[in-house]
Structure formats: C-alpha cells, structure tokens
Amino acid sequence: MNILLVNPPIPNKFKMLDYADEEGRKSILRRILVGPPLALNELGGVVPDENVIILDQKTEMDMNPNYDYIEAVVKEMADFRPDIIAFTCITAQYNSVIKLLEMVKKINKNTLTMVGGLHPSACPQDFIGSGADIISIGLGKYSFYHIVQELKKNQENADYTNIPGLALNKGESLYYTKSLSDISYSEFQKNYLLDEVLPNRSLTDRYNYTIPKMKKKIHYLSTSQGCTHKCNFCSIWQLTHGHYFHRDVESIINELKQMEQYPIIRFCDANTFGDVKKIEHLFNRIIEEGLDNHMYMADLRTDTVIKHPKLLQLAVKAGLRVTVCGLEATSDEELKKYDKENTIETTKEGLRIMNEAGIYVNGNYIVHPDFEEKDFERLARFVEENPIFHSGFSILTPFPGTEQWEQLKDQIVIKDYDYYNLANSVLRTKLDEKHFYDSVVELYKISARATQKYFSIYGNSMEGM
C-alpha cells in the first residue's frame, strides 16, 4: 500500500518581521527552527511493510520561498499514486491543509485522506465538509496502524467505526468513535502508546536538518507524551486528557543507539523532566551506554531545576547542553494569568543555576497585546538583568481549543489562521500597531545584547552558536 505523509507549509505571515529594521531582523532570526516532522516519522514506523513517502513542505518552503506546495502534492499523486494521504496540522497550517484536501479529492475522490495533530485534535469540527475522510483526535499511532490494516483488508468496504480516537467525516457532520479519554490509564499506556515502535527516520533523511552555524545534523526524539502542567495557552496536555506518559527508558536507549548519525538530539517533549525518577534513570543509562557523545536539547522548567539540582548536574554529564524554557512572564501576577504554577524568583534562580552549569538556555516570554510602554520596559529590564543564551518573545495567541481561546475569542480581530504563528497579534493591541511591533523588535535587539552580556559572564564554549 502506498502512503503519502505530508507536513504542510506554514504561511509566511510575520508582522513582527514586517516592522523590523536590519538589526531587528537579524536578532529575530537568530533562533532558527530546524527539525523534522517527528510525528510523521513515527507514523511511518508503525507500518514498516508499506511504501511510505514523507513530504516535508515546511522545510521545502524554508529552502525555497517559491516552492509550490499544491503542485508538489499533485506530482506525488501522479508519480506515487498513494492509497492514503495523511496531513499533520497545527493551526497555522490549517488553510494550506484545506486547500490540499480539496485538490486531492478533485484528482482522485477514492484516495483516503486523513488529518491529525494539534489543530484537528482540538477542533475536529473545523474539518466538517472538507476533503478529510478521517480526523485523528489525540495521539494517533494506534489508530493510524488500524486504519491502514482495515483499508488493506476491506478496501472500499472498510469500516473505521471500531477504531478509537477518530472523527469520521459525514459531509455535514462528524461521527465520533470511542474517545481515547474513555480508555483507562493503564490500558492506554500498555496498548495505545506503541512505545516499542520506533520512528522511521530514513523517510526524512533526504532533508538537510542541520544547524547552519554549527553544521551539525539534528533530529528529534520523544521521551514522553502529554504534560505535567496545564497552562491555559497550551493544548498539548489536552492531547492526553491531562495525563503524562513517560516512555520505557530501555526503549529510548534502544532508539538512541540507532541515531549515531545525528550529533544533536532534541528531546521534543512538553516537559522532558516531568518524571524525575525516569529521567534520572535515562541519563544514567545514556552515560553507561556511552551515548553521551551527542549534544542533547530538552524542555525544562525552572522550578524543576531548583528542586533537583543534582539531576541537572547528571544531565550535563550525560550531554545536555541546551534547554528550552517557557519563562512566559516577569511578574507573579502574569504567571497566574497563564496558570503557569511558578514564581519569578524561581525563574531567576533557575536561570542562574543553569547558566552556571554550562547550559545554553533558550527562554521564551509572552508579549500580551495589552502591553503598554511600561510593560515592555519591565520585560526589557528583566531580560537585561537575567541574561541567558537566547531570549525569544511570542505574541500571545489564543489558539482554538485552549482555555485561553475560550477566555479571549470574543476579542479576536484577525480570524485568518495563517497569522496564528506567535509572530502576529490576532487581538487588538493597546498601543498603536506600529508602536507595538517596534517595541517587540526592540526586545529582540535587547535580547541580542543580553546574549553578549551572558557570554562575558559565563563564556562561550559552544562553537558556532
């Protein structure tokens, strides 16, 4: 069976860059997002006996701004003749996915079409009447495997109603199969996560996932699913209905042993250190197996750093060099608004500990559309006084399906999902638009200067970064 898996493009709609001068653009573009669509590698891994192609259109467009994503899928349909086409989809990819689905059905209405990912899981109703035959809700490896088996067995008479975690498109409505939330924690962990099935990374090896200045390849690895916290701007924890699942450590070690060709490995979890006992076991096993020759990147909360300083030391010994920290705010009041369950003093101390441990921290702050000059000044001052390797700034965006969406949806002025990429304000800004974006760009310039201050204090041992 021929299966085409597609990571659609993210439209080039970045107001933040539109208002930036050369220095501002340079500062904004310091943080280069390079990496594969791991979810599609994982789907390829669950059907090893099928002919699978992954088309990473996001990367294609990053390499070539003139890339025609519609024509590329048309060509794959003609050359590869897929029986199934499955799209992964975040909110910013929604419009592209809808166009691709429409095109696929025009060419061959019998091609089985699927969508999965954050946006379909949160908003399956957005695909009613679209060209999507099946919407995957939540974690999709199990359902994808059984969809493929059902289609192989029964062809045009295939019946997907007994496969959990799906919404079947009936034209003007959706038929929902058994929800994954109705499955017990133990049963889900045992039968539905498919931890023993490793991603098929060869399907994306033709793409150049390389950190440009370092000239080293990067690939992703998932150690867990879900999250230990429930920040109101995030929908990741909703994918697992609030549960946090950490993979079997030996399964992760087995996977790492097959990743020698990737010097940089990004643990792409919402919270890599969510289960401290298991992550301690993992780092010990990495050292024991001699897998500490990789550079590891991981998501880490500052409160975890303070509670478990010895664990951080072990992680560094195992090869952890870069952390990604959702810092979000510079006041406890702001943190409470985001349900962050953290404090500013914890943030400061956690950053200091990571800096002194030789960790390169990529911290991210949220810029609220309600910000006035005093708020920008407060954030700028915090970044200068607490220097880290890189500070980034996301404009608050209420994504559909999140609690924040329910709080703010009536205030949204930009409803075009193309703009939902954290670089645009989809809410009305309190300052006039130019003043607002100029202030965001200035934050990035201050971030670049804070990086130099960080280097002057802690040194720069990471070549090329």
Q: For residue 32, what pLDDT band results from cuts at 50, 70 and 90?
A: low
Whole-prediction pTM value?
0.94
Answer whether residue 185 shows pLDDT above 90. no
Structure confidence at residue 187 as a pLDDT band (50, 70, 90): confident
Q: What angle do CA 358, 364, 365 make, to 5 degrees?
A: 135
**CA–CA distance, 262 with 424 (Å, rounded to integer):** 33
* Per-residue confidence (pLDDT) for residue 198, from 0 to 100: 93
In 43-153, at which residue ranges do the beta strands (DSSP E only) sit? 51-56, 84-88, 112-116, 134-136
pLDDT at 465: 46
Q: What percent of the chain has pLDDT over 90?
A: 87
Residues forming a β-bridge with 95? none
Residue-range domain boundaries for the chain: 2-12+38-191, 209-458
Q: What local confidence, expressed as pLDDT, does residue 202 receive?
A: 96
CATH class of the domain defined by 209-458: alpha beta
Q: Is 215 left (phi over 0), alpha (psi -120 to 50) or beta?
A: left
| Listed range (227-241, 323-337, 373-387) with the worst mean pLDDT | 227-241
Query: 77: Cβ–Cβ under 8 A, 6 or more apart, which residues?
Result: 4, 85, 104, 107, 108, 111
b/e code 224-238 from CB counts within 10 Å (16+ = b): bbbbbbebbbbbbbb
Classified as helix, coil or strand, 111 is: coil
CATH superfamily of 2-12+38-191: Cobalamin-binding domain (3.40.50.280)
Question: Among 376, 347, 379, 343, which residue's Cα sits nearest to residue 361?
Answer: 347
Length of the chain counted residue by residue: 465
What mean pLDDT is predicted for residues 144-173?
95
Residue 464 confidence class, pLDDT cut points 50, 70, 90 = very low
pLDDT tens-place string over residues 72-126: 999 999 999 999 999 999 999 999 999 999 999 999 999 999 999 999 999 999 9
Does pLDDT of 143 surpass 80?
yes
Residue range 404-447, pLDDT digits in tens: 999 999 999 999 999 999 999 999 999 999 999 999 999 999 99
* DSSP assignment string, 129-180: TSS-SEEE-S--HHHHHHHHHHHHHHGGG---TTSSSEEEE-SSSEEE---G
| Cα–Cα dist 35/125, whole Å | 29
Q: How confident is the model over 164-176, as pLDDT tens digits? A: 999 999 989 999 9
Q: What is the mean pLDDT of the chain?
A: 94
